[in-house]
A = this chain, B = another copy of it.
């Protein structure tokens, strides 16, 4: 069994022309022997956002803390602690932080695709 606080994993910082203010961590993945799916934890700073994109695999998200919005078929929908999102393969999506503190969520993907 592996038990740890997610903040003890080293983050990858992402700031580019498509994404802003992100610290991403792979917390359970292939290196742990997780053969079916992978857990990543994302922190998005106030004003930050993930890329608006689509890909061939699904996301399962759980919002832990903070406030934000998710892009879904042309509209922005509010997300808050306790919100669950299922983003099916091929669906365009983006997450942005509209609050004053970090937006933190778990985002899971199937094995066999890039972990980050």
Residues of A with Cβ closer than 8 Å to B? 1-7, 27-28, 32-37, 39, 41, 58, 60, 62, 64, 70, 72-73, 77, 79-88, 91, 93, 106, 108, 110-111
Contacts and interface: CB of A to CB of B under 8 A. Distances in A.
Contact of A34 (B60, B73, B79): B60
A85 B1 CA distance: 7
Contact of A5 (B64, B83, B110): B83
Contact of A1 (B36, B37, B87): B87
A62 B5 contact: no
Contact of A106 (B7, B58, B62, B79): B62
Contacts of A111: 36
Given A41-B84, A64-B82, A36 B110 contact: yes
Nearest to A58: B34
A85 B77 CA distance: 30
